[in-house]
Amino acid sequence: MIYTLFSILVFPGLLFLSIFGVIAEFIDRRLYARFQNRMGPPWFQPVADFIKLLAKEELIPEEADARMFKILPVFAVAAAVTAFLYIPLWNTASLFSFEGDIIVVLYLLTLPTLTFFLAGWYSTSLYAMIGAVRTLTQLFAYEVPLFMGILSPAILADSWSLEAITRFYGEHPWYALFNILGFAVSVIAIQGKLERIPFDIPEAETEVVGGAFTEYSGKFLALFRMAIDIEMVVCAALLAAVFLPFGLELHPVISFVIFIVKLLVIIFIMSLMRSIFARLRIDQMVNFCWKYLAPAALLQILISFILKGILVR
């Protein structure tokens, strides 16, 4: 019981995730800056930003639904943290597991996006409303390729449990090579989920000021930003668990280091994408997702089915 509570709240749960999220944000910002030929922030900048926001006054629009306005950021953080508990990290065992948890994780990762939408909607401000509608429009575009991309390894592993999937790929690490297309699709789709360039349309500051978060300030904004940081780590961990099943059965310390390296590689790829593209328009984004990303994910599923037939025989 105490061990479970410790796992949920401290390691590898809330506390570890928050700290790692902050570190991930720093690495992302630093890499982004270096790609752009800038120095970038010092290591404590995300923490300083967080503390600064906590100290600021919170303003809630008069028209807004105050209760929802306050509670949504907590929901976002909670959903992202909960998703983390089902993901196997540096070994093949996750904290909780059951057949079908991969679907649960994907749905839990959709929840923060829905809270962003609701946050914008309940703010009752024009910019926030447009940002909220964009968040939702975008959700329908990237979610399908993301689901298909992440589920295709499950087809090959013949299980809907993340633990079983990692165990399967742990035994046959080279099978992971067949999922490269799915990996690429998922990384791109996750840029949309995390609202990063080229899919940062909902919070494009030159168009809709701050998007869904326009009216947010103080600790509520800090919580939202924390939720996005945590979501980034959780998404990276999910990708690592499903697509990069290496070094799982070694000594825990070594496995842990390898796990961290995997996350950093994924964060590196995401930062690189952020710095080499321009922001797309919402119609171009939806077009891209349905025209290229979804067919690519379908192809990956097809490959998985065919391989399954060959390998099982």
Partner 1 sequence: MGKVMIPIGPQHPALKEPASFNITLDGEKILDMIVKVGYNHRGIEKACEQRTYIQDIYLLERVCGICSHTHSTCFLQAVEEIAALELPKRAHYLRTIVAELERVHSHLLWLGVAGHEVGFDTLLMYSWRDREIVMDILSMLTGNRVNYAMNTVGGVRRDISPDQIKTILPLVDILEERTKYYIQVASEEVTLIERLSKVGTLSHDDALKLGAAGPTARASGRDIDVRRDDPYAAYADLSFKVITDNHNDVLGRTLVRVGELMESYKMIRQLLKNIPEGPIAVKAPRKIQAGEALSRYEAPRGEDVHYVKANGTDRPERVKVRAPTLANVQAVAAMLKNGYLADIPIVVAAIDPCFSCTDRMMVSMKDANSRKENFIDWKTLRQYSIDWYKQNRGVDMSKIKISKRW
Residue reference for tokens 């103080």: 218
Which of 282, 289, 297, 303 binds partner 1 (CB under 8 A)? It is 282
For 83-121, letters b (16+ CB in 10 Å) and e give: bbbbbbbbbbebbebeeebbebbbebbbbbbbbbbbbbb
Ranges within 151-170 binding partner 1 (CB under 8 A) = none
> CB 3: neighbour CB atoms within 10 A?
8
Which of 1, 2, 253, 278 binds partner 1 (CB under 8 A)? It is 278
- State yes or no: residue 35 binds partner 1 (CB under 8 A): yes
Site string for partner 1, 190-209 (x = CB under 8 A): -------xx-xx--xxxxxx
Query: Which tokens sit at 138?
Result: 């975008």
Distances (CA, A) of 25 to 29, 49, 299: 6, 11, 33
Residue reference for tokens 């509670």: 71
- State yes or no: residue 279 binds partner 1 (CB under 8 A): yes
In the bound state with partner 1, the residue whose beta carbon lies nearer, of 153 and 198, is 198
Residue reference for tokens 């997702």: 289
Identify residue 284 by its one-letter amino acid code: Q
- State yes or no: residue 276 binds partner 1 (CB under 8 A): yes
- State yes or no: residue 277 binds partner 1 (CB under 8 A): yes
The site that binds partner 1 (CB under 8 A) totals a number of residues, namely 29
In the bound state with partner 1, the residue whose beta carbon lies nearer, of 158 and 205, is 205
In the bound state with partner 1, the residue whose beta carbon lies nearer, of 155 and 280, is 280
In the bound state with partner 1, the residue whose beta carbon lies nearer, of 253 and 278, is 278
CB of 133 to partner 1, least distance (A): 6
Which of 95, 133, 184, 264 binds partner 1 (CB under 8 A)? It is 133
186, with CB counted inside 10 A (0-12, 13-18, 19+), is buried
Query: Which tokens sit at 223?
Result: 């919580």
Contact residues toward partner 1 (CB under 8 A) are: 35-38, 126-127, 129-130, 133, 197-198, 200-201, 204-209, 275-284
